[in-house]
Copies of this chain bind each other. A is one copy, B any other.
Amino acid sequence: MSGTLVVGQSGGSTATLSNTLAGVLEAALQSDAVDRIYGMCNGIEGLLQERFVDLTNASTQLRDALRRTPSAALGSCRYGLQETDAERALDVLKAHDVRYFIYIGGNGSALTVQAVDRWAQESGHDLHAVAVPKTIDNDLWGTDHTPGYGSAARFAALAALDGGSDSWALRTHDQVKILETFGRNTGWVTAATALAKREEADPPHLIFVPERPLTQERFLQEVQAAFDRFGYVHVAVCEGLRRPDGELLFASDRAVDRDAFGRGQLGGVSTLLAELVADELDLKSRTDKPGTMQRACLSLASSVDLEEAYLVGKAAVKAAVSGDTGKMITLERTPGPEYAVTTGLIDVSDVAGKERPLPDSYLNEAGNHVTSAFLDYVRPLIGAQLPEYVRLSLPTVSKLI
């Protein structure tokens, strides 16, 4: 069967998500089953609005440029597909003779693939729909990790390393720094800040993630204890920190801040915690909140992630033209001392709308840092190892007076 292949990008940015698009184009251009290649502008919104970019003649230069482009070069969306969209979606798919539907996204986007696949089957339209994993959150089941995560992990680790070196240098003045990373319900990105720590006294001194509920009281106790021990404190926190009752420590309750899935916008827990530290512990406290740069900074991307993001794009086209549908590409880590991955396939229904938290074995007992098992897991994903910095701190000159 031959026909049109459509490809879309959905959800939050990653540094490497357009590498995946490049991989899709590369494999699609080489496939006899693909007559035309259309890119959806702003994901499924573009399909429903019939806004497509014709990529059938995508040049080598364009594919190379995509590999040097972060975020969604096609534009992205956060659109929750409704059953009422089915007729329109099918009309567009049929009008353009779309036989291959490749959708790059996270667990929300997997729901889109699931719906489109089901609608096509129910209407008798022969369509092969394949999801390609993409999320800095690393919260998808069935894959060792998600493309996008390695680069966000690298960024978070560098934010902790560089912000930590700033904290160390100014430790007689700036007493507490709180670095806030992304992560709605899971602490994968926050946990990666631990890579910045080489010695016990190094930042980050504390790491708090949603998988370990936190009270304000315990947060303050932990900060004070770390301050007493190290003389300054660098804390990494996840935007999605939760209280023991399951409620977020901070989320906007404005209607305008709710996304298509009714979830309040996060970002701001560090401000709340810094105010708490200043008010309750009388320690000078400041926040670093890199925000969207952490998911879109290609200049600091992981070389491993760049390559794998490209690989999963190619694998998705191969799976679709080989007859697979309703599947998501996975990355499987090859056992052994050397890091290597192969791609696999999983039913999209095993992924769609589900979230994978950090496993217990990756978090220490105190719930304030990670374990070496997590470091072993994450280290190969960030590409080149982090730089090492010099500190000239011990007074090595004898006091004369």
- By a beta-carbon cutoff of 8 Å, the part of chain A in contact with chain B is 9, 12-13, 15, 18, 38-39, 41-42, 45-46, 50-55, 62, 65-66, 68-79, 91-92, 95-96, 158-159, 162-163, 165-173, 177, 179, 252, 254, 256-257, 259-260, 265, 267-268, 271, 278-279, 282-293, 295-300, 387-397, 399-401
Contacts and interface: CB of A to CB of B under 8 A. Distances in A.
B395 A296 contact: no
A177 B292 contact: yes
A366 to B, nearest CB: 26
Contacts of A51: 395
Contact of A53 (B52, B295, B395): B395
A278 B256 CA distance: 7
Given A39-B392, A400-B50, A71 B166 contact: yes
Given A173-B77, A299-B158, A292 B71 contact: no
A179 B289 CA distance: 10
A28 B77 CA distance: 58
Nearest to A50: B399
Contact of A288 (B163, B172, B177, B292): B292
B286 A292 contact: yes
Contacts of A299: 158, 162, 299-300, 387
B173 A78 contact: yes
A169 B71 contact: yes
A9 B396 CA distance: 17
B171 A401 contact: no
Contact of A293 (B13, B41, B168, B288): B288
A395 B300 contact: no
5 A-B pairs closest in CB distance: A288-B291, A52-B397, A72-B169, A95-B400, A162-B296
Contacts of A62: 390
A299 B160 CA distance: 13
A9 B65 CA distance: 42
